[in-house]
Amino acid sequence: MGAQALAHQAPPPLLDDIEEVLITEQQIRDRIAELGTQISADYAGKDPLLIGVLRGVFIFMADLVRAIAIPIEVDFIGITRYGPSTQTQGIVRLTKDLEINMQQRHVLFVEDIIDTGLSLRYILNTLQARQPASLRICTLFNKPRKRLFELDIAYTGFELPDRFVVGYGLDYEEGYRNLPFVGVLQEEAITRRRLPPNTQT
């Protein structure tokens, strides 16, 4: 194989990069059905507004809204976070605002994963200032071990150990979001991903 061909060699299939599956596609599907039933009952007659943060939540949001049997509305915000997650003084900036006015609405804030809680604390402060009728949190995955703030989470899909996971919307350097389950990456995949795409080793 020539150098040119090598440089454009396709990376191995995504599945080969996974060391361990933590939550299967079926487990996710079953749990979301339960969450949807619970949310439908709790918010009946309230016409709730579901708000998610792009981009990690897009897959969970898509499945969650279809598990909800009452009228709802959906909107998204975007944020950028600077500095390592362990820094209590990390800076969060809003990069995309809501389209829908949330004043006097029953807002359910939907997250893919909560780790330190830093991003969420900033967002909650921002949203609370807009005077919703109520504001509660729903997260598919919760990693409580590194939590820096006390958070009242109304709906949790799964508690996860303090490991970095990918799949079902969660990324490692923008990759792996499209895996239908949640798993832990092989060390080798992490090293490879850190190299520029055309680097030959």
Which ranges in the chain belong to alpha helices (H)?
A: 3-7, 25-42, 58-66, 118-128, 187-194
Of residues 156-175, those binding Mg ion (CB under 5 A) = 171
Q: 59 contacts which partner out of ligand IMP, Mg ion, none, CB within 5 to 8 A by kind?
A: none
Angstrom distance (rounded) from CA 111 to CA 51: 9
Q: From the candidates 16, 17, 112, 115, which is the catalytic residue?
A: 115
Strand partners, 173: none
Active site residue 115: yes
Window 52-81: contact mask with ligand IMP (x via CB under 6 A):
----x-------------------------
Is residue 139 within 8 Å of 114, Cβ to Cβ? yes
Task: Convert residues 95-134 into a mask of x (bound to ligand IMP by CB under 6 A) and - (unbound).
Answer: -----------------xxxxxxxxx--------------
Regarding 149 and contact with ligand IMP (CB under 6 A), the answer is no
Which region, judged by CB under 6 A, interacts with ligand IMP, from 3-11, 23-31, 66-74, 158-166? Answer: 158-166
Q: How far is CA 133 from the centre of its chain?
A: 24
Question: Do 183 and 21 touch, CB atoms closer than 8 A?
Answer: yes
State the binding partner of 115 from ligand IMP, Mg ion, none, CB within 5 to 8 A by kind.
ligand IMP
**Distance (Å, rounded) from C-alpha 156 to C-alpha 75?**
20
170 binds ligand IMP (CB under 6 A): yes
Question: Strand 18-23 to strand 182-185: parallel, antiparallel, or no bridges (unpaired)?
Answer: antiparallel
Contact assessment for residue 148 and residue 139, using Cβ atoms and an 8 Å cutoff: no
Residue keyed to tokens 């389209």: 99
Judged by beta carbon, residue 42 or residue 171, the one nearer ligand IMP is 171
**Contact residues: ligand IMP, CB under 6 A:** 56, 85, 112-120, 164-166, 170
**Contact residues: Mg ion, CB under 5 A:** 171
Active site members: 115
